[in-house]
Amino acid sequence: MDKKVIGILIAGALLAVIPWLGLPTFYESFIYLVLHWIILATSWNILSGYTGYFSFGHGAFFGAGMYTTAVLTVNFNMPFLWSLPFAGLVAALIGLAVGFVVFRTRKVRGELFALLTLAVTFVLATIVLNTPIDGGPGVYMTSVAVPKFGPSASSSIYLIALAVAVATVLIAYLIHGSRLGTGLFAIHDDEDVAEVMGVPTFRYKMVALCMSCGLAGLAGGIHALFVSYVTAGETFNITVPLTVVLMSVLGGTRHWAGPALGAVVITALQYAFTAGDSAVVGKAVTGAVLISAILFMPNGILYYFLKRRKKAGLQAPVEKNEAAAVPLSDGEVITRAPHVLSNEILLDVREVSKAFSGVQALNKVSFNVRKGEILGLLGPNGSGKSTFINVASGHFASDGGEILLGGIDLARLPAHAVSHCGVARTYQIPRPFAHMSVLDNVSMAAMFGSNSLDRKASIREAWECLEFTGLAAKALSLPEDLNLHQRKFLELARALASRPQLVLLDEVLSGLTPGEINEAVRMIQKIRAQGATIIFVEHVMRAVMALTDRVVVLHHGQMIASGLATDVMQQPEVITAYLGKQHA
Ligand code: ADP
Ligand code: MG
């Protein structure tokens, strides 16, 4: 078994012994509170830390669990333990209902999501206060029988909280290293790109939200019995979400153990400084400690210390295949690789249109691409080339027309499904996942692309693609450490890692030096030799001439010419489009 899993289980087992040590009850209730916050902060982090969708609604889901248990045990005489699954379920269902509406809207990200989730808390509080669920006076749970696990009632509640805390941390850990976790972290960095690379973003967010809310609901159910008097004012207030956010941010949201660490630190601080006579001074000290911790460790305590340890203990990675990173000499002439074109049509574009508030970016564009072909998509700036790639890759929905790939209409598919059909693309302005290493950026494409490789196989594939693009020496760097040429090649490596049958390249050569262009042209020739079909958007004519079998020229969203590059570039309407009317 995984060492960390064993570690979490051992920590749980050690803590389980505490009720039998005969310590003063204060310790037990203090550790209970730590566990309580560990569950809340860690569950919050599964959605909000991993995906970056900061929720301020965790109080709502926690409260939903609290009231579910209170109502079921008090009004329906359900045994406490039986009520717990319902507490989790009700919270998860409310979460799913919110997610179902909110996650469908592209605009609801960032602050808007945070505010919306906060609003859910107030709506729920209003419902609870104005219905028989509470009605105002609160719900007393003193009559509810506490199941007997430990030597006392409070120790039994402690043990239940411990079991749920261990389960929550385990879940957070397992998700962190899983395919789901990789997808969630990609959503965090760039949701649109994640979707285009094959991550089913809506489903992943729903799964994360469901788990996050369900676990918060469980924490609520347990806490209802702990406090034994449930009131809406105590439950649905801003303190719960603020505390979990603070704990997670302090500990580190990108690490599975960050929120748990934050929960320990903050609960301990609260007790150490605010108990006794000096409560006011204590609060100020707690605030000061938190502010300085966040100022000096903005990525969280865990990240800060792990990074320091890495810096001290880790040498630069083995420089793999350094030779490939050396660009070819500037003067080298690129030649056309001999290629016999198949007659089989791979992509059939029929009357595709796309408008942006009045600008007709694509106007009934029709052309086809043969299997194994490199088709140049040309046209002056603003002619609709990138829009075509955006529509074909599912980044934007088209307004009409069909894009048929082997009989499947890509225009009707969500972006992740387009990727699963074997379509990969690059972005004109590189959009790497900023917090992932270069290697992870590429392996993620292999993991979610048409082959859906497992983690090990996708890392192997990623190394190959990085060697192919000459980036192996940079594999463990973050994208911010790459220069433009390397970023462009990273885009290329990501596109290749999914082993696509169709690659859409959007100006991969712009901004490169002549030597780098030669290198890239060679690479694109090799990609085709491996069996891929390529749509190549480019302004560098020398590369267009060397690479393309045919070209299609767009102007104001309309196709104005198609055929061999040498012929098409002579046509008067193409010259006019490129140089303006006065040159015609
Ligand atoms: P190209 O890649 O050929 O330079 P684009 O496809 O990027 O051109 O743009 C075509 C037209 O569509 C331009 O007029 C551009 O301003 C417009 N356009 C492209 N993307 C958007 C967008 N997201 N919102 C509004 N207008 C856009
Ligand atoms: Mg463009």
Closest C-alpha to ligand 1, atom 24: 356
Q: What is the mean pLDDT of residues 375-397?
A: 92
pLDDT at 405 over 90: yes
Q: Looking at ligand 1, which residue's alpha carbon is closest to its atom 23?
A: 356
Tell me the whole-structure pTM to 2 decimals. Answer: 0.89
Measuring from atom 12 of ligand 1, which residue has the nearest CA?
A: 361
Three-state SS sequence of 45-82: HHHHHHHCCCCCCHHHHHHHHHHHHHHHHHCCCCCHHH
Among 192, 356, 357, name the best residue to mutate to test ligand 1's pocket (greatest count of ligand atoms within 8 A of Cβ).
Answer: 356
pLDDT > 90? residue 286: no
- The H or E element spanning position 365 is strand 359-370
Backbone phi, then psi, for 463, in 5-degree steps?
Answer: -60, -40
Stretch 403-417: mean pLDDT, rounded? 92
Percent of the chain, pLDDT > 70? 93
Residue found by looking up tokens 């037990």 in the block: 28
pLDDT tens digits for range 227-249? 988 888 888 888 888 889 999 99
Per DSSP, the residues of 184-243 read HHHHHHHHHHHHHTT--HHHHHHHHHHHHHHHHHHHHHHHHHHHSEE-HHHHSSTHHHHH
Distances from the Cα of 200 to the Cα of 89, 258, 504, angstroms? 24, 26, 20
511 Cα–ligand 1 center, Å: 20
What is the pLDDT at residue 315? 43
Average pLDDT, the chain: 87
Q: What is the pLDDT of residue 584?
A: 41
Band of the pLDDT at 573, cuts 50, 70, 90? confident
Give the pLDDT confidence score for residue 542 in this predicted structure: 86
Residue with CA closest to ligand 1 atom 13: 382
Q: What is the pLDDT of residue 316?
A: 42
DSSP 253-290: TTSTTHHHHHHHHHHHHHHHHHSSTTHHHHHHHHHHHH
d(CA 549, CA 564): 7
Judge contact between 48 and 114, C-beta under 8 A.
Answer: no
Residues ≥6 apart with Cβ < 8 Å to 443: 455, 458, 459, 461, 462, 497
Please report, for residues 385, 391, 565, the alpha-carbon distance to residue 348 in angstroms, rounded to integers and kept in the order given: 16, 14, 20
Question: What mean pLDDT do residues 192-210 have?
Answer: 95
Report which ligand 1 atom has the smallest distance to the Cα of 387: 6
Ligand nearest to the CA of 557: 1
Which ligand is nearest the CA of 363, by number?
1
Give mean pLDDT, residues 452-476.
Answer: 91
| Confidence label for 102 from pLDDT (cuts 50, 70 and 90) | confident
Phi, psi of 508 (to 5 degrees): -70, -20
- The encoded tokens of residue 332 equal 């080298």
CA distance 98 to 502: 37
Q: How confident is the model at residue 335 (pLDDT cuts 50, 70, 90)?
A: low
CA angle centred on 395, ends 392 and 399, rounded to 5°:
65
Q: Where residue 325 falls among pLDDT bands split at 50, 70, 90?
A: very low
Report the share of the chain in percent with pLDDT over 90.
55
Residue 249 neighbours by CB under 8 Å, 6+ apart: 262, 294, 300
Q: Look at residue 319 in the predicted model and tell me its pLDDT.
A: 41
Mutate to test the pocket of ligand 1, among 387, 389, 399, 537 (most ligand atoms within 8 A of CB): 387
What is the arithmetic mean of pLDDT over 268-293? 76
Distance CA 103, CA 248 (A): 22
**Amino acid of residue 558:** Q
SS3 562: strand
Question: Phi, psi at residue 366, to the nearest 5°?
Answer: -130, 130
Whose C-alpha lies nearest to ligand 1, atom 26? 356
Give CA 71 to chain center in angstroms.
37
The pLDDT tens digits for 31-75 are 999 999 999 999 999 999 999 999 999 999 999 999 999 999 998
Helices (H), 343-469: 385-392, 415-420, 438-448, 455-468
pLDDT, greater one: 535 or 540: 535
Q: How confident is the model at residue 331 (pLDDT cuts 50, 70, 90)?
A: very low
- Give dist(CA 29, CA 441) in Å, integer: 44
* Residues in the ligand 1 pocket, defined by CB under 6 Å: 356, 359, 361, 379, 381-387
Q: Which ligand is nearest to the CA of 554?
A: 1
Confidence class for position 311, pLDDT limits 50, 70, 90:
low
Can you tell me which residue has the tokens 């329906």? 76
Q: Which atom of ligand 1 is nearest to the CA of 557?
A: 10
- The whole-angstrom separation of Cα 439 and Cα 437 is 5
Report which of residues 84 and 316 the model is more confident about.
84
Q: Report which protein residue has its CA nearest ligand 1's atom 14.
A: 382
Closest ligand to C-alpha of residue 396 is 1
Q: How far is the CA of 425 from the centre of ligand 1 (A)?
A: 17
Helix or strand run (H / E) with residue 244: helix 239-251
Greater confidence (260 vs 407) lies with: 260
Q: Which of 200-209, 406-415, 514-523 has the highest mean pLDDT?
A: 200-209
Q: Which of 81-90, 146-155, 253-262 has the lowest mean pLDDT?
A: 146-155
Q: What pLDDT does residue 276 have? A: 64
Q: Give the dihedral of Cα atoms 442, 444, 448, 449; nearest 10 deg.
A: 0
Instruction: Note the pLDDT tens digit of each residue in 466-501.
Output: 999 999 999 999 999 999 989 999 999 999 998 899
Lowest model confidence (mean pLDDT) among 2-11, 187-196, 330-339, 463-472: 330-339
* Residue pLDDT, tens place only, 539-571: 888 888 888 989 999 999 998 888 888 888 888
Closest Cα to atom 19, ligand 1: which residue? 387
